Amino acid sequence: MEFVVEEGKLVHEECSTLILPALSIGNVGQLAVDLLVSSTAAERVGYLDDLNLLPCVGNDAYGPLPCGDIALPLEVYESSSTATTLAQQRSPVAKGMMIKFAENIAEFAASNGKKDVIVLASLDFQRLHNLDLSRGPQVYYLSNTESDGRDDHCERLGFGRLGEYDPEGRCWKYLSSVFDKNNKEELSFPSEDELEDIDYYPSLPFAALFSAFKARGLKVTCLLCYCSEGDNIPDAFLLAEAASKLTGLTPDKFHGEEGGKWRIPYSWKSMYGAPPDMSMF
């Protein structure tokens, strides 16, 4: 994976917190990063070029009006006022290459001075076993602060620890071993056909990213929410809000609409396609 700095741009070393999405149901992580880039007025500083990422291009996603600035599959933004780097991923990873991709992006983070990593992702609502509606929408987390995934700061913020994280489970152990260069133990690659229900969480892209960053010695926190496919904008707000709380961003760091916190990206206007053709009436 090559980090290509955009011409005329500088990379700020103080932007040591990296926020990035993991591909997940409803594209929630990606929508949340869209919201954070747009609302913090983060500036694009470069691109990550990886052979394992499927190609796509588009017009500027953020606006306020699309000005023809090309958008690439994996872009790096910086918000120096918040000391945050944001990476936005717009296309899937080639089938079977997620582990390699995670390794590459962890290498980018480690070699570019990132110290804290926040991965935003969503989980399938059908997998949620203990639904507690009294608390409202819940954000879950997984951290490498403690071996069981626990982190005091996340607990104080009211996030729920992902109880399904089992570092001794075969798939989690496999992910740990595959990214650990010092690991001598050979574990077999879990076959697609052999996966069971308990393997759902470690099979997801966020788990590969978590394990890869952890192996590079970076502090990594995954912020997760359960959702279904549909209108996932509210889920994106939930995760973006959680990320801003976790990183301690105060409202004055945001450049929202009409003095508010959030700025809706221009590209969201057509998220659900064109409006109906009124001429038929």
Q: Kindly report the number of other CB atoms within 10 A of residue 81's CB atom.
A: 14
Instruction: Give the pair of three-digit tokens for residue 88.
Output: 């936005």
- If one asks whether residue 94 binds another protein (CB under 8 A), the answer comes out as yes
In this chain, which of 10, 14, 57, 155 binds another protein, going by CB under 8 A? 57
- CA dist 32 and 212 (Å) reads 22
Which H/E stretch holds residue 3?
A: strand 2-5
Q: Is 205 in the site for another protein (CB under 8 A)?
A: yes
CB 18 within 8 A of CB 87: yes
What backbone torsions phi and psi does residue 74 show, to the nearest 5 degrees? -140, 110
Select the residue interacting with another protein from 105, 118, 204, 222 (CB under 8 A). Answer: 204
In the complex with another protein, the residue whose CB is nearer, 43 or 60, is 60
Q: Does 5 bind another protein (CB under 8 A)?
A: no
Question: Which stretch in 158-166, 190-198, 213-221, 247-255 sits in contact with another protein by CB under 8 A?
Answer: 190-198
Counting contacts by CB under 8 A, is residue 73 touching another protein? yes
Cα three-residue angle 81-86-90, rounded to 5 degrees: 145
- Note whether 198 binds another protein by CB under 8 A: no
Task: Provide, rounded to whole angstroms, the least separation between the CB of residue 116 and another protein.
Answer: 23
In one-letter notation, the amino acid at residue 162 is L
* Residue whose entry in the numeric block shows the structure tokens 């992702």: 121
Q: Does 10 bind another protein (CB under 8 A)?
A: no
> Contact, 202 vs 175, CB < 8 A?
yes
For another protein, the binding residue among 21, 29, 149, 202 (CB under 8 A) is 202
Burial of 268 (0-12, 13-18, 19+ CB in 10 A): middle
In the bound state with another protein, the residue whose beta carbon lies nearer, of 100 and 216, is 100
Q: Which of 136, 147, 182, 189 lies at the binding interface for another protein (CB under 8 A)?
A: 189
Q: Which of 99, 227, 240, 246 binds another protein (CB under 8 A)?
A: 99
136 binds another protein (CB under 8 A): no
DSSP code of residue 55: P
- Shorter beta-carbon distance to another protein: residue 61 or 86: 61
d(CA 235, CA 11): 31
Residue 70 near another protein by CB under 8 A: yes
Closer CB to another protein, 87 or 204, in the complex? 204
> Does 188 participate in binding another protein (rule CB under 8 A)?
no
